[in-house]
Structure 1
Amino acid sequence: MHPELRRFIDAFEQEARGEGRLRHTLGYAETRFLERVWGPFMNFNFDGLKPEYPFLDFEGGQRFVDFFYSKGPVKLIIEIDGYTTHAKEISKSKFRDHVRRQNRLMYSGWFLLRFTADEVETEEGYCQAELLKAIGYCWTTSAGAGALPLSAGDLWAYRKKAIELYAVQQGDRSIHPTNFAYEHGIGRTTAQRWFERAAEEGLLTSLRRGNKVYGYMLADMRKLSTGRNE
């Protein structure tokens, strides 16, 4: 286990026990989400993320969410659904309660993102891409409503992660600002500027024919494909 993840889990368990919470340990699926999805996606930075967090619903009842993430204008709740718990063995009354809980979360201004435990285990790339979209959506809608924007550093980190995930999805093929711009709904000039900055910071490698750049590739992937250590 990554040392930063170990510290995060230990701190959560110590705080939860100290406060006498009903839930003071992480389940297997939640731990795997941190190991396989959140950790690699956020470079094992857990600032703003709270697991097994209790809150009161509109009727005064205590509820728990698997994770919530609050940073700047982003208010995101993440639920990891195991098949047996949420589908096969759930009663009608529990299912109704589960649906109503989700509605109340949405009314409170939180964006709810759900993954199955199987997706966390076998499709971490998909989960990371959805996480990126959810954070981007929260930022866009909140900023449009007049909320404080993300800091310049956080905003660029979000954009770099979008470029990185896009490059990973393309495998060993080169990536191009035009295609990235189309997929992400931004201008080609803007995408070109992002790619150039990502190359300057070492995330991307420029692919050239003479003096002309014809594409980009993740720097680490470029090393693997050429067999060179740069």
Structure 2
Amino acid sequence: MGFTEEHRKWVEDHISRRTGERRGRLERGHGHGERMFVEKVWWPMMGHFNDLHPEYEVLDWRGWPYFVDFAWKPGQVKFAFEVKGYGPHVQNTDRTRYRQELNRETYLQIAGYRVVAIPYDDLEASPENTIFLLRSLLMPYLALRTEEKEAFSRLERDILQIAVRSNGDIRPVDLVRELGIDLRTVRKCMRSLCEKGKFKPIVSQVSGRVCRYEYVHSLNDIQLW
């Protein structure tokens, strides 16, 4: 699928799992600048929205909710991306609000987030520059040795990608339907992936057979596609 369809599904999925102000903030806050970021930077750079959370709520030091434009949380890594225009952040005449914003950014770092400001003007004029900077910044967290990537077949990488989209658990029958392959091939691939530590077989208490597989998350898997 292309960006438009994947973006729609991604936003709708997050909206469906939220209530109250968390939902309202996403419906109101995911505007033009945020969409430009995911369309012109994140999607060309990553090709998916795995572990990226729009309008992500973080409680500040007073326990008040604060929403960052995007939080990226693969594994134990936490990044906060903020799309910032020139007017609201440089020419802000509300000095109290400006001071609070700076304090919140400091608190985000205390809470373990690496805070990254994304210039709005660059998203319009030179998104490739933002892609270059972000790729350089994130590369240490995405690094994957060539031999590790080659340890997985194309079919195994497809299965890993499906597992990520399915929130971790997959059934053999789902793979048969989605990949158009026979059950014997699915079982062979899943045995291989279990041996490589990518899945854990879940045995049915009723039949005693493997009914599904639990995906073992790894930050490096983002580079397997």
Sort the TM-score into its range (normalised by shorter chain): 0.5 to 0.7
Offset, 1:138: 5.2
1:105-157 deviation digits (Å, cap 9, x = unpaired): 111111111111111112111111222122235568xxxxxxxx955533566
Alignment pair present for 1:39 and 2:18: no
In structure 1, the gaps of 5 or more residues are 141-148, 158-230
TM-score by length of 1: 0.57
Name the counterpart of 1:23: 25
Greater length-normalized contact order (CA 8 Å, ≥ 6 residues apart): 2
Q: Which amino acid aligns with 1:11?
A: D
TM-score (norm 2): 0.58
Structure 2 residue ranges without an equivalent (≥5): 144-216
Letter in 2 for 1:28: H
The aligned counterpart of 1:10 is 12
Give the Å deviation of 1:13: 3.1
Letter in 1 for 2:44: P
* Counterpart-to-counterpart distance in 2, 1:69 and 1:13: 17
- Contact persistence 1:76–1:112 (CA under 8 A): yes
Cα RMSD after superposing both structures: 2.3
Amino acid at match of 2:108: L
Residue correspondence of structure 1 range 1-230 to structure 2 within 5 A:
2-16=4-18, 18-21=19-22, 22-25=24-27, 26-43=30-47, 45-137=48-140, 150-155=218-223
**Conserved? CA contact 1:73–1:139, under 8 Å:** no
Distance 2:91 2:15 in 1: 30
What is the aligned residue count? 147
Provide the identity percentage.
26
